[in-house]
Structure 1
């Protein structure tokens, strides 16, 4: 096999599930964090592929155990910090490992509130929205981090238009100046590269950036009398760039979750279209998908 080249050699542990309780002994209040992690290692490991030599391999079971121990010994929030910590550990513990990629999905638990009072230790999963982190930590290079929101399902019953588009022999879609708009928001924002782990550790904007991105996404979606999803996503992205100076780029992907009017005029002349529409048929697909990537001008 000398005539062939090994172009990629990396491995790791996927779907490591971690749940951590943070207890405040003074107040009795507890916080929780549930995550799914993927960890991939790169370095001088090619011999395991090319020469059946496993001596450079850190077992994937050991990778899993390491994540658990680091979660016990260190903070797991913000997840950007925890991802960088994991990468630093593998890059410094094993001299032949030169880069670590870590992805984290934080599963949303929201504190229950009764009569306006937050419960000290009870939570509810109020949707499938997750917080995400993708990080690559290089031994002698920068740490690159992309944070995100995935699966934020939103809907508004009015305040959305779509008209003025190309009309030709293939067009059947009628123009509308008022429609139901629903989508599942996937949004990511790319941080300027961090030169060191200490720079990641010192950054205090990870949580506030996530909160800003959620607030901007929801408020723009809710308040904008949208001319199109394209126009709305660009405004969202620009607003995040303006709100978070440490972010270099923002990416959105929004699939339309269509709700179609149902013509019921066949039954006793019932009016259920246009301004009279009240009953709709939710669609599973096909759906339009709108993508947007905005960066700072250089």
Structure 2
């Protein structure tokens, strides 16, 4: 029986990095979690030969050294710099991915900040010997409409108990990823992030929803319409259920006013919206 080594990678996960820029009295703060994954000709390492292995501790140190030497700036740009370094300097490495999570802070003063409760910015950068691919995104964007949402006409069988509704609360916590058609628009990382965020919010607010699937498609479509640099948008929308409370035992009517918010179980709606002419994705992402 022949046994061979399949796909494999290794790296340093969740490197915590805080970079302070002390340029005069007004300081700038960037707070990131950075994960590195490397792959290539690593079969010997799985047989006990470490001569081609860059220690994960060295990968961690590289993150910190690059933050000092080059600054952090936009997460996508920092990730590209790191990933290209690992591929170009390590003979055994032909593929590198850097995942970045930026933790938001709000400014309180020239050198004072408060941890922001808003959505988290994320990025994933993949570099091979001759190509670079970037996926940007956000997580934790909580949205809610108190009306303009219905849900009815669905399949009913012997196990269906959910009542149909023509007026419900629709709430979700958006996780979105968008793939860039080209890395050439590097100067617009931040502007694109804000543009996509605004487009997702606008579509959620303006769509009269008959299902969360319909809302997902409207959100993804709006982002692509407003941001031509994107090839596709992937959305994960948990349905944050709000159920009407039965107030009849207390002699009270409940005209869509009092709800119980539940955290589980929940419906989970996922989907991809892409351009017809979108370049193929380099790999599953």
TM-score when normalising by structure 2: 0.91
Q: How does 1:10-49 map to 2 (within 5 A)?
A: 10-25=9-24, 28-49=25-46
- Of 38, 61, 64, 1:68 maps to 64
Are residue 79 (structure 1) and residue 75 (structure 2) matched? yes
The equivalent of 1:131 in structure 2 is 121
Does the Cα contact within 8 Å between 1:9 and 1:49 map onto a contact in 2? no
The equivalent of 2:202 in structure 1 is 219
User: Unaligned regions of 5+ residues in structure 1, if any?
Assistant: 113-118
The equivalent of 1:208 in structure 2 is 191
Distance in 2, matches of 1:29 and 1:40, equals 35
User: Unaligned regions of 5+ residues in structure 2, if any?
Assistant: 278-285
Q: How does 1:146-225 map to 2 (within 5 A)?
A: 146-194=135-183, 199=184, 203-225=186-208
How much does 1:160 deviate?
1.7
How much does 1:147 deviate?
0.7
Report the secondary structure of 2:45's partner residue.
helix
Are residue 120 (structure 1) and residue 106 (structure 2) matched? no
The equivalent of 2:52 in structure 1 is 56
Are residue 239 (structure 1) and residue 230 (structure 2) matched? no
In the alignment of these two chains, the number of paired residues is: 277
Distance in 2, matches of 1:54 and 1:254, equals 43
Report the secondary structure of 1:12's partner residue.
coil
Question: Runs of at least 4 residues of structure 1 off by over 4 A?
Answer: none
| Cα RMSD for the two superposed structures | 1.7
- Of 234, 246, 260, 1:251 maps to 234
TM-score when normalising by structure 1: 0.88
How much does 1:193 deviate?
4.5
